[in-house]
Amino acid sequence: MTQVLINNEPVNTEFETSTTVNDLVTLILNDVATEDEVISSIKFNGRVLSIDEEDQCLVLPVDTFNDIDFTLINSLNLAFDSLDDCSGYIDVVVSKIAELSALYSQNEVRQANILFSEVVEIMDLFVQLVSKIHKTIRKSYPEKLQNNQTLQKLEIHLLSVLKALLPAKEKEDIIMLCDLLEYELVDNLTQWKIQAIPELKQLNHD
């Protein structure tokens, strides 16, 4: 029989042989986790899987595995922990933009276009992550974030820059595209890293 653990502690759960891992996730979120807790990771047979592997395992019956260990964490704590991921995204994007600009300057358009798509995908993930973090932290610190001009201005500027990128790309206006990437986007992301993210982190210590 499969042993189910939450934060390394065994729990008594009853489920049918047809119960999938997805069903178990729903059961834990509904019956075990508090309103402010989320599942931050799942170990299958003692191993943390890649995203693709985990997706494949979620649809399998629970009894496929010897043990499944769920890590529950307070959503606010997870939000603060995820701020480091935001900084990681910024470093990756800034590095790729430098490489992208070099490719365009060398007229390596095909390779540059591939890299541009990667930058757009990463930025999409960054925006989603920042949005979720901001929403979670704002719920706990509404007064402190209500009038935070730094976050508001950076969010508006970031979305306007991203909105301008695709038209420039479609028009093949390389000069405009590089200006938006090298100056507008990099400057915005730098401000997130040196100002906005530290301000959000500080809320966890106030």
Give yes or no for a contact between 83 and 193, defined as CB atoms under 8 angstroms apart: no
Instruction: List all residues 6 or more positions away from 164 whose beta carbon is below 8 Å from its beta carbon.
Output: 180, 184
Q: Which pLDDT score, from 0 to 100, does residue 157 have? A: 94
CA distance 145 to 199: 10
CA distance 33 to 28: 6
Q: Which pLDDT score, from 0 to 100, does residue 140 have? A: 84
Q: Which pLDDT score, from 0 to 100, does residue 69 have? A: 94
Q: Which pLDDT score, from 0 to 100, does residue 152 have? A: 85
The helix or strand, by DSSP H or E, that contains position 95, with its residue range, turns out to be helix 75-105
Q: Which pLDDT score, from 0 to 100, does residue 50 have? A: 80
The helix or strand, by DSSP H or E, that contains position 71, with its residue range, turns out to be strand 67-74
Q: Which pLDDT score, from 0 to 100, does residue 115 have? A: 92
The helix or strand, by DSSP H or E, that contains position 47, with its residue range, turns out to be strand 47-48
How confident is the chain (206 residues) per 10-residue block, as mean pLDDT? 88 79 90 86 88 85 92 90 90 94 91 92 91 88 80 91 92 91 95 93 82
Q: Which pLDDT score, from 0 to 100, does residue 94 have? A: 95
Q: Which pLDDT score, from 0 to 100, does residue 206 have? A: 67
